Amino acid sequence: MIIQQLTEQLIVLKKLLILLKDEQYIQKIQFLNGSSIGAHSRHIIELIQCLTNGYSNATVNYINRERNLQIEVNRIFAMNEIQLINLQLLKLDKPMALLAENTTNDKKIYVKTTYLREIEYNKEHTIHHLALIRVALREMNLTLVNESFGVAHATLKYLAKQQIMQP
């Protein structure tokens, strides 16, 4: 279920990327401190890649991830990476170790986690960045997504319940 929700968020992102022009994908957005939809897409993709790549050795390292600028500037490449990720997500839950940032010294600190816990983290992280992408779309005056784009499942359920309770 959790994996399916992350997969659905990635499909939503891919559908948006199909609709965008290359120039729109890399356009610097004032309200995002000069970041672009491509930069947010890259960030989403790379964090999920950290999880899927670390599955075999049961270690997640978001800190020292590869930053592949090709994802940020090439919309087609980004869509292909999303497709690959979606094929790799379906895995059994298992204990994992998450490398945590240590600001006091160079000693590595690991936190116990699980694959599905990190899937949940990446799902929420993806929704957060989709919300930022929605800001970019508004700045560009593009109406390419619906009102639920970048809104958490729990928020959508809450809002639907509030609508039912309205007299």
| All domains in the chain, ordered by first residue | 2-165 (1.20.120)
pLDDT value for 84: 97
pLDDT in tens, 37-71: 999 999 999 999 999 999 999 999 999 898 999 99
Phi, psi of 129 (to 5 degrees): -75, -30
pLDDT in tens, 69-127: 999 999 999 999 999 999 999 999 999 999 998 877 888 899 999 999 999 999 999 99
CA pair distance 59, 75, nearest whole angstrom: 29
CA of 48: how far to CAs of 82, 108, 125, 129, in Å? 10, 21, 10, 13
Q: Is the pTM above the cut of 0.75?
A: yes
Q: Is 102 exposed, middle or buried (0-12, 13-18, 19+ CB in 10 A)?
A: exposed
pLDDT band at 146 (very low <50, low <70, confident <90, very high): confident
SS3 84: helix
